[in-house]
């Protein structure tokens, strides 16, 4: 870990401006991913701007019947919030399927969205990685790929996004609110927030330098049966091989999003019309264009079967 100065931000705008003005600066909130990466010198900030004091830790109803979740709400608190549990069960379930109790107590809404891939080659600084050093090459391709992406990957990167929460947010059509360094606020649809790797896998989100997430907004509840099915080898405290977030309505219509398969939460709205016809039907559209390896091809079968399980659970 490189040496860094540490300061506590006074306001979101000031924090954004400070980080925007200093290319060596980073925000820190829960720190559960950033410090992990700093210890390995995958992240090397020289200045940390602590945003924990910014009072962005409220969950409040919105005018149009939704819920605004502060960027600094701890994952535990979001999952335990009575309104989230009642109206956005898939989100509560997704959060609780992730990490451990200790980590959820620290990890924040914004930090969870911004966590970086768990690709083992990204984590080993001896291995070339286009995320760490653009242009260096990808060591994962041709290597150990069992846990890596089958959808939306590129020749530069086959990493997956590790978040469970983000999959549920994608399903719920959440929006991400930010404040930019010049003080303007903007709202980014979750679908546009995370990027596919393409030729620039180091650019992972739509955020500009210094742009600070202030909240995530959930539209008004959509009802239906909420499930989050996370499939992994270990029963807990493990990243997903495949996860399925679903909201299924009484008439069989609904939404499906996948985790563990791509560089971002994976949802294909156009495919959802096929949902009433079952797992196989929706999987055709949802998994179209998949590119697999001998090691991770099972994710397609698994995704379809996990969707089947979610549909069965919703029917039960």
Task: Quote the least distance from Cβ 4 to other proteins, whole Å.
Answer: 6
Give the residue with the Cβ less far from other proteins, 128 or 198. 128
Rounded-to-integer distance, Cα 268 and Cα 261, Å: 13
Structure tokens at 252: 């069989």
Task: Quote the least distance from Cβ 234 to other proteins, whole Å.
Answer: 5
Rounded-to-integer distance, Cα 156 and Cα 129, Å: 9
Q: In what order do the strands lie in the sheet with 185-189?
A: 59-61, 67-70, 212-218, 175-179, 185-189
Task: Quote the least distance from Cβ 155 to other proteins, whole Å.
Answer: 6
Give the residue with the Cβ less far from other proteins, 103 or 191. 103
Give the residue with the Cβ less far from other proteins, 176 or 279. 279
HSE-up of 199 (CA within 13 Å, CB side)?
0
Task: Quote the least distance from Cβ 245 to other proteins, whole Å.
Answer: 14
DSSP string, 142-183: TS--TTS-SSS--SS-------SHHHHHHHTT-EEEEE-TTS
Give the residue with the Cβ less far from other proteins, 61 or 134. 134
Residues forming a β-bridge with 259 = 243
Give the residue with the Cβ less far from other proteins, 113 or 188. 113
Give the residue with the Cβ less far from other proteins, 125 or 184. 125
Q: 63-99 burial, b if ≥16 CB within 10 A, otherwise e?
A: eeebbbbbbbbbbbbbbebebbbebbbbbbbbbbbbb
Task: Quote the least distance from Cβ 72 to other proteins, whole Å.
Answer: 13
- Residue 110's Cα: distance from chain center in Å? 9
Give the residue with the Cβ less far from other proteins, 125 or 187. 125
Rounded-to-integer distance, Cα 185 and Cα 212, Å: 9
Structure tokens at 123: 């984590």
Task: Quote the least distance from Cβ 277 to other proteins, whole Å.
Answer: 11
Rounded-to-integer distance, Cα 123 and Cα 249, Å: 41
Nearby residues of 316 by Cβ (< 8 Å), 6 or more positions away: none
Task: Quote the least distance from Cβ 182 to other proteins, whole Å.
Answer: 20
Task: Quote the least distance from Cβ 278 to other proteins, whole Å.
Answer: 7
Give the residue with the Cβ less far from other proteins, 18 or 241. 241
């Amino acid at each position: 870990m490189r040496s860094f100065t540490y300061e506590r931000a006074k306001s979101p705008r000031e924090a954004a401006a400070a980080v925007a003005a200093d290319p060596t600066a980073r925000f820190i909130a829960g720190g559960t991913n950033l410090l992990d990466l700093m210890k390995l010198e995958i992240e090397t900030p020289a200045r940390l701007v602590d945003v924990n004091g910014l009072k962005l830790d409220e969950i409040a109803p919105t005018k149009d019947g939704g819920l605004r979740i502060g960027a600094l709400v701890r994952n535990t608190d979001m999952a335990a919030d009575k309104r989230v549990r009642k109206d956005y069960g898939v989100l509560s379930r997704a959060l609780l399927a992730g990490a451990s109790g200790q980590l959820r107590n620290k990890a924040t809404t914004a930090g969870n969205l911004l966590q970086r891939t768990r690709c083992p080659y990204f984590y080993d600084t001896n291995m070339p990685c286009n995320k760490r050093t653009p242009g260096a090459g990808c060591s994962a391709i041709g290597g150990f790929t069992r846990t890596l992406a089958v959808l939306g990957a590129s020749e530069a990167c086959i990493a997956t996004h590790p978040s469970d929460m983000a999959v549920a947010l994608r399903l719920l059509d959440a929006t991400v609110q930010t404040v930019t360094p010049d003080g303007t606020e903007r709202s980014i649809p979750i679908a546009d927030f995370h990027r596919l790797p393409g030729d620039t896998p180091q650019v992972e989100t739509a955020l500009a330098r210094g742009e600070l997430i202030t909240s995530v907004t959930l539209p008004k509840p959509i009802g239906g049966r909420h499930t989050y099915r996370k499939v992994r080898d270990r029963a807990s405290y493990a990243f997903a091989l495949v996860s399925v977030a679903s909201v299924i309505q009484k008439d069989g219509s609904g939404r499906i999003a996948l985790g563990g398969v791509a560089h971002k939460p994976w949802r294909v709205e156009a495919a959802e019309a096929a949902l009433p016809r079952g797992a196989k039907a929706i999987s055709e559209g949802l998994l179209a264009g998949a590119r697999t390896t001998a090691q991770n091809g099972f994710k397609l079968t698994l995704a379809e079967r996990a969707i089947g399980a979610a549909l069965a659970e919703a029917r039960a």
